[in-house]
A and B are shown apart, each in its own frame.
Chain A
Amino acid sequence: MSKLSLLLGILFLLISPSKAIGQNLESDSYRIRMGNFNMTSGTKTSTNYSLTDTVGQTAAEYFSGTGYFVQAGFQYLYTLYDFSFSVSSLLADLGTATSGTFASVNHTLIVSAPGQGYSVTALAVTPLTNTQGSTIPDTTCDNTSCTETAAEVWVNTAVFGFGYNIIGHDAATDFTDATFFRPFPSLSAAEPPATVMTSIQAGQDRTATVTYQLNVSPTQAAGNYSTQIIYTATPVY
C-alpha cells in the first residue's frame, strides 16, 4: 500500500502544472509603447540631433548605411504612472542616547518605477557629529565584519556605533532580517553611495522601512549629534 501511495504522490507531482518563467508585455502597471507614440519627451528645438523618436529612426537608417550603426528608436514604455520617490519623514530623532541601550527610529521609502526598474542609494554626508566636532563611529556589528555594502547581525549592546537596517520590497538582500545592520558610507570620507533598494522590474509603491540604530560608548563626548542622510532614486536605462 505504501508503494502505491508513493507512486500516486510522484504521479501527482508530475501532472501538476509547472511554473512558467517569462515576461509579460502588458500588466496592471505598464503597457509596452508601440511605434513612435511619444508622451513624455520634452521640448526639442533643433534639427541636428535625434532623440529616441521619429528623428532617431531616420538617423539610425542613415548610420547603418555607412557600415556603422546607431539605433535611437523609441523603445521606452508608455507608462501609466510617473517615476516617483517618497520619504515618510525628513527628520528622524534618535532621542537622548544612553550607553549600552539601543536607540532606534524608522521611516519608509516608497518608489514607483515604470519601465524597467530602479535603484535607491544611501549616503551620509558626515558621521554623526556634535557641535564640538566629536563623531560617533560606524557600527562594526557583533562580529566586527559588517561593511557599507554587507550587513551583519548587531544585537549586542556592548557594540557601539551607528548603523541602519532596511526591510521591505526590493531591499538589499544582505539585510536578512531586522537584526542585520550596515554602517552608512560617508561623503566626507569619499565613500561611494550604497544601494539599499534595487529592482529590474517595473513596480508601483515599492515600500521599504529603514531603521536607524544608535548605541554610544560610555566615553562618547556629550552633545547633540546629527548628520544628513541622502537617499537618491535613479531609474534603470
Chain B
Amino acid sequence: MKIFTRYTLLFILTSFVYRLSSPIKVNAQNISLSVSPPVVEILLAPNQQLSQTFFLKSNTPDSLTIIPSLHLATPSDSFGHVTLDPSPAGNIPLAISSSLPLNQPFTLGDSPLSLTLTLEGATSDLPEDTYLALSFQTVAPSTADCSHPPCPDRLNVSSAISSLILTTLAPNNIIPTHVELTSFELPLLQDTALTLPLSPTLANQSPIMLRPNLTLTVLSPRGQVVETLPLPSELILGNSSRTYTSSWTPHWSNLGPYRFRLTATTAGGSTLTESEKVVWLIPLRFLILVFFLLLLIVIITRQIRTRLLAH
C-alpha cells in the first residue's frame, strides 16, 4: 500500500512538472485562404480600361473578416520573389476602382468571394511599369478579450495572401528592351557522365518588364549544332535580374571542346544578347574507371604470380 502511494505521488509530481515544462497550448481559430489567379501580367494603353476578377476562398468553415488592399511590390532577388510595401499603395500611374471597397473589412463566408479591379492607364508619353499586390488580410481578434484576469501576454496573428498585378502602361505600343547577360558560368572541364547544371542570370536594364526567350545552343568542335535547348521562359521585372535554372546531359560520344551559346531573343526572334563559352567534354569517370581496372588487373596478376612462385 505504501509502495502504491509512493508511486501515485511520484506520478502526480511528474505529471505536474511535465505540464509546467510543456509549451503553452494554443486554442484559437485557424484560418486558410486561397486566391486565384496568383499572378497577372497586364499590358495597358493609356486612357483604356481593363477589369480583372480575383477569387478569394476560405478553406475553413468559420467566417472571416478580411481587409483587401493594394500594395507596391518590388523585386527582392533574381528568383522572382518580391517585397511588399506594408503601407497601401498610392500615387501610381493607374486609376483603380474595385467592386469591393479597399482597405475596409468585409466578411468571407463559405462561398468564394470575387473582387473585380478595374484599371485605367493614365495619360503618359513613356511606357511605365507598376507592380502591385492585391492583399487579403485577416482581421486579428481583439486584444481586449480577457474576461478572467489575470490576462496573459497575447499575440494576435493576422495572415495575408496576395496576388501580383504586374502592369506595363504602353502609350504607343513601343516597349524598350535592354537586357544583359550578367552571369553565365560554365566549368572548363565537364565529365560526359555527369549532367551540366545551367544557371545563367539575365539583367533587365530597362524599367519595363519583359519575358525574353532564352535558348542554349550546343555546338560540336566542328561547328555542328548538337542540341538546341530552350530554357524555361521567365518574366524579368524592370531594373531587376532573373536567374534561369536548367541542365544539359551530354551524350557519351560528345568529346572535345564544345561551344555553349546562350541567346536571349524577343518573341519576334530579334536577338537581345548572346554569350558563348567553351567547355571541354571529357569522359573523366570512364578514364578513371579504365585506369583503376587496369591497376586492379596488374595487382591481381602480381598476387597470383607471387602465390604461384611461392608454391
Residues of A within 8 Å of B42, CB to CB, are: 49-51
Q: Which of B103-111, B161-169, B255-263 contacts A (4 or more CB under 8 A)?
A: B161-169
B155 & A69 in contact (Cβ 8 Å cutoff): no
Chain A nearest Cβ from B234, distance in angstroms:
8
B26 & A93 in contact (Cβ 8 Å cutoff): yes
Q: Which of A61, A92, A116 contacts B80 (CB 8 A)?
A: A116
Chain A nearest Cβ from B144, distance in angstroms:
9
A69 & B49 in contact (Cβ 8 Å cutoff): no
Q: Which of A72-80, A140-148, A153-161 contacts B (4 or more CB under 8 A)?
A: A72-80
A22 & B49 in contact (Cβ 8 Å cutoff): no
Q: Which of B5-13, B209-217, B220-228 contacts A (4 or more CB under 8 A)?
A: B209-217
Asked if B43 lies at the interface with its beta carbon under 8 angstroms from chain A, I say: yes
A224 & B152 in contact (Cβ 8 Å cutoff): yes
Number of interface residues, chain B, beta carbon within 8 A? 108
Residues of B within 8 Å of A69, CB to CB, are: 175, 177, 210, 266-268, 270, 272
Q: Which of B82, B193, B211 contacts A71 (CB 8 A)?
A: B211
Residue ID in chain A nearest B175 by CB atoms: A70
A83 & B237 in contact (Cβ 8 Å cutoff): no
A21 & B34 in contact (Cβ 8 Å cutoff): no
Q: Contact residue range for chain A? A: 35 or more
A61 & B43 in contact (Cβ 8 Å cutoff): no
Asked if A236 lies at the interface with its beta carbon under 8 angstroms from chain B, I say: yes
Asked if B304 lies at the interface with its beta carbon under 8 angstroms from chain A, I say: no
From A23, A66, A211, A237, residue with most partner B Cβ within 10 Å: A237
Asked if B15 lies at the interface with its beta carbon under 8 angstroms from chain A, I say: no
Residues 41-71 of chain A: 1 if any B CB is under 8 Å from the residue's CB, otherwise 0?
1111110111110001001111111111111
Asked if A200 lies at the interface with its beta carbon under 8 angstroms from chain B, I say: yes
Asked if B63 lies at the interface with its beta carbon under 8 angstroms from chain A, I say: no
Residues 25-44 of chain A: 1 if any B CB is under 8 Å from the residue's CB, otherwise 0?
00000000000000011111
Given contacts A69-B175, A92-B157, A226-B155, 10 further A-B contacts (CB under 8 A): A18-B195, A49-B42, A49-B45, A60-B267, A70-B170, A85-B34, A90-B138, A193-B86, A211-B23, A231-B160
24 residue pairs A–B, Cβ–Cβ below 8 Å:
A11-B292, A11-B296, A60-B267, A63-B175, A63-B268, A69-B266, A72-B41, A75-B211, A82-B36, A82-B57, A84-B33, A90-B156, A91-B157, A93-B26, A105-B26, A117-B81, A193-B86, A195-B76, A224-B146, A225-B153, A226-B155, A232-B160, A235-B164, A237-B166
Residues of chain A whose beta carbon lies under 8 Å from any beta carbon of chain B: 3-4, 7-8, 10-11, 14-15, 18, 20-23, 40-46, 48-52, 56, 59-73, 75-76, 82-97, 103-107, 109-110, 112-117, 119, 121, 123, 128, 187, 192-193, 195, 198, 200, 211-212, 214, 224-237
